[in-house]
Amino acid sequence: MTLAALLGAGLAAGLVTVLPAPRDAEPGAKDQVQLVASANPNGNSSGDGKPLVINSLDGKPILRVADLQPGRSRSGQVTVKNAGSAPQAVSVWQNNLATGPANRPNLAARTRLTVHDDALNKTLYAGAYKDFPAMQRPLQVCGLPRNKESCPAWAKGESHVFTFTVTLPDAPAGSGTDINTYQSTWLRSEFDWASVI
């Protein structure tokens, strides 16, 4: 049973759009770099049709940013809750990653993504956007600590706030990388939460 809780089509629960400003943009040039994320609260329901995992945004943006300067970051949040009647193990993965346009630098390889679980006060992921775990090896999200369990299931009603931070790293002088080559590039992906009773 899965719940697409970020990045997808249909009932979007969140959108991340980042429009970085190039270091040496021509006057009046429009910045075109975009990062798109959305959430899709489909499926993952109990026998009575009620969703087992819900999110706080239900189609509203997680983050929209214009003129993100190289070396700067922007963040947005989504709350995910166990709305089922029993404890659940919860995992998250990235799906449908796409970048473009063709024959241009890969923005997902350049952009850094950090995902922080504020309930656990723990960074779940920090690395290249493109390397966030995929469905074949999802990232397990532990519930709040109880007893001596190393990674407990989420209790009934338990919720976690996830902070997503995107960073466009600058290119140091002499590195051989022209950060302006990322103008007019984009990436999109989907982050899906799964629950198992």
Q: How many domains does one find in the chain?
A: 1
Domain that holds residue 83: 2-196
- Provide long-range contacts, Cβ within 8 A and 24+ apart, for 23-32: 23/69, 23/70, 23/170, 23/179, 23/180, 24/180, 25/180, 25/183, 29/183, 31/66, 31/67, 31/183, 32/183, 32/184, 32/185, 32/186
pLDDT tens, residue order, the chain (197 aa): 233 332 222 222 333 444 445 554 443 333 333 444 444 444 455 555 566 777 777 656 677 666 667 888 888 888 888 888 889 888 888 888 888 889 888 888 988 999 999 999 999 999 999 999 988 888 999 999 988 888 999 999 999 999 989 898 888 777 777 888 887 777 777 777 777 65
